[in-house]
Every structure is written in structure tokens, then in C-alpha cells.
Copies of this chain bind each other. A is one copy, B any other.
Amino acid sequence: MTQHQPGAHRALPYGKLANGKLQRLLDALPPDLRLEMEGMWEYRTLSAGAVVIEDGQEAERIGYVLDGILVMVKELSDGRRHIIGLLTPYDMFGRAFNGASGYRIEALTDTQVLTCNRVQFEHLIARSIEAEQLFLRNLLDELDAAREWVIALGGAKVVQRLASLLLILSRHKFNGACGKPTFAAGQPLNLHIQLKRQDIAHYLGTSPESLSRSFHQLEGDKIIRINTPYDIDVLDLAKLTEVAGNSLLLERI
């Protein structure tokens, strides 16, 4: 975290983490290490556009996204931007042990993150087998998530890829939610998509115009409801899965 909003960090708000991924990780630690681990984290907010980690630099801090979206982006020599991946809530960013980043990470929206000094984190990992295994598991989850994006982008048609994206975001929302799932009962699942159509389009390998048409196709089929371009209700998860063309993305909900 080479740049962040000054004055925006304060102590870890434990309530924010109830039922969250990090909390589940912490729960598995021995009490003494857990206390130490908890003390290491800082809560921060980032304004949209803030650079979290610069391309080619070694991250000073690592962290978790709590709310908002970070984007991994590569600036090409001709000025175009290539979006490599998205970091949504409960994803980890910054590379422990792994040197400089090959791309820039920036906040696509106003974002809330938990961060931690990288070196401090590495030392804790090195001292504790439990912490190390938690981190490894987390990393392996990230790998699965990245491979999931590959599936999502493998769809032949735009509407298929969009459906896959919405499925992934739905699951993030669902897994990150507190308490019992309200979802199986058939209520609409509300998604706050903090991406501009242009960014989504780029990420899905299509144009904003085609993307817009796909959004409205899904709405016409009663699969989603578009409240605003950034506020989507998923009405029919089964149909959405059908359109996505595979059930893989849903199996971990």
C-alpha cells in the first residue's frame, strides 16, 4: 500500500468481520497468535482511482478487500489499459514472499480494506504453522477463483459470459453475507456492481453496446432486474446458471 487516503485508517472494527472470511481464518488460530494477528490489521478506506500497488513495485502492505472493487490493471505502451482481474470483497491482495507485482492494483471504486504490514505478516507466517497453513489455503482458494474467471471468460456468447460474471458476483455476495442464507428461498439477490459498463465490457472481451444489450436481454427474460446500471437484482439463479452454460460456478454457493 504505497498510497492511501491519509487519516482514513483506524483500529480494526471487529463487528465488520462477523461471519467474514478473515474472521473464520482468525478463529482457527491459537489464542495468543490470534491476538497478535488481530493487532496487526488496520482498517482503511481508499478513494476510487487510488493506486494500491504500483506496477513493478514490491508491496509494503498486504490486505483484504472488505467492500468495493480493486482492479489489477496493466498499462500498455500505447496508453490502453488491460484489465487482468478483479478483486472483490474477501479477496486478498499484495504478494507475501513474492517480490514485485507485475501489474498495478488500483481502487476502481471507493473501497474498504484491511491491511497489514507485509514483513510483519511474513514473520508471523514463518513462526506459526497454523498461520502458514491458513495463508496457503487462502492462496489456493485464490487460485481456484482465478481459474473460475477462466471458465467465465470461456463462454462463446456475450450473454453467457455476463451470466457467468453475475453468478460469480452473486456467490461472493452470498458467501460474504452474515447469518443464514436468505437466498435459497427465492428472494432476489441484490448486487451492487461498482463497475462502469465500459470496464465490464473490457473485462468480458466485448463492447459496452453489446454488453448493454445482453443486460437487457437478461432483464427481458426475467432473470435479473436492472434498478440502476449499478444496482442489479438477480431474480432467477437457476435460469442465470442455465444461460451461463454450466453449473460449475454455482456449486460452491
Query: Which residues of A line the B interface, CB within 8 A?
Result: 72, 74, 76-77, 82-85, 95-98, 102, 125-126, 129, 132-133, 135-137, 139-144, 146-147, 149-151, 153-156, 202-207, 246-248, 251-252
Contact = CB atoms under 8 A, between A and B. Distances in A.
Contacts of A77: 247
A181 B95 CA distance: 29
Contact of A205 (B149, B156, B207): B156
Contacts of A149: 146-147, 150
Contact of A206 (B153, B156, B202, B248): B156
A121 to B, nearest CB: 12
Contacts of A153: 150, 153-154, 205
B205 A154 contact: yes
A43 to B, nearest CB: 25
Given A102-B144, A142-B143, A137 B97 contact: yes
A146 B150 contact: yes
Nearest to A161: B205
Nearest 6 Cβ contacts at the A-B interface: A146-B146, A98-B140, A153-B153, A154-B205, A97-B136, A156-B205
A144 B139 CA distance: 12
A88 B46 CA distance: 38
Contacts of A204: 154
B82 A151 contact: yes
A137 B76 contact: no
A225 to B, nearest CB: 28
A132 to B, nearest CB: 6
Nearest to A101: B144
Contacts of A82: 151, 154, 246, 248
Nearest to A206: B156
A143 B144 contact: no
A82 B152 CA distance: 11
A252 B151 CA distance: 24
Residue in A98, A126, A142, A154 whose Cβ sees the most chain B Cβ within 10 Å: A154
24 contacts: A72-B147, A76-B248, A82-B154, A84-B248, A85-B147, A85-B150, A97-B133, A97-B137, A98-B136, A98-B141, A102-B144, A125-B132, A126-B132, A132-B132, A136-B136, A139-B140, A142-B143, A146-B146, A146-B147, A150-B150, A150-B153, A153-B154, A154-B204, A156-B207
